[in-house]
Amino acid sequence: MSSKNSNILSVCTLVIPWFTAPFLGKKVFIRYASVALFTNVIWSILSVFANKKRWWKADPFILKNVPIDLPFVAGMFFITTLWVFKLTFGNFKKYFALNAVIDFLLAFPVVKFYDRVGAFKLRKLSSTLFYMIVLSLAVIIYVYQCTMERVMKRMTGKLGDS
């Protein structure tokens, strides 16, 4: 599956999103880093499972023997999670709508493009089911962030009382 174009695209998928990170702001990065890391853990587990079940195949251009889709997990998904939360957190309808659009673009035109280049290919999973999986993940991570916000509010309230 590996080719020069696939490697270039994978490097871009990993690195280019990080160029936008300074525009997030330090407070936003810190506030949402936990949910972005949580997303990475879920995607890493899902990658291992999906590769084992042959749902999809990603070109692991960096760590050839590791079944984690590293360019997506550590690049595109991490930074996109931060941006989506920065732009929409606190308004679930807006959050869900933005995710529905982004996930649609990922599941259909982006996956098709990555397949043509040889960096990612859906195998035993349809684009529609892939879309439903990533959209479901969006709901899970929103609940996670709401929980983290409540925990932090309680902790800072208790710390402020001391």
Confidence of residue 72 (pLDDT cuts 50, 70, 90): confident
Q: Which residue has the higher pLDDT, 118 or 131?
A: 131
pLDDT tens across 112-124, in order? Answer: 998 898 888 899 9
Q: pLDDT by residue (tens digit) across 4-58?
A: 787 888 888 889 999 999 999 999 999 999 999 999 999 989 988 888 899 988 7
Q: What are phi and psi of 56, to 5 degrees?
A: -150, 170
| pLDDT value at residue 38 | 97
Cα end-to-end span (Å), the chain: 58
The confidence band for 80, taking pLDDT boundaries of 50, 70 and 90, is very high
Q: Which helix (H) or strand (E) holds 79?
A: helix 78-88
pLDDT higher than 50, residue 82 = yes
How confident is the prediction for the chain on average, in pLDDT?
Answer: 89
Query: Cα 103–39–74 angle (5° rounding)?
Result: 90
pLDDT for 162 beyond 50: no
Confidence (pLDDT) at 1: 46
The 8-class DSSP code of residue 68 comes to: S
Q: How confident is the model at residue 69 (pLDDT cuts 50, 70, 90)?
A: confident
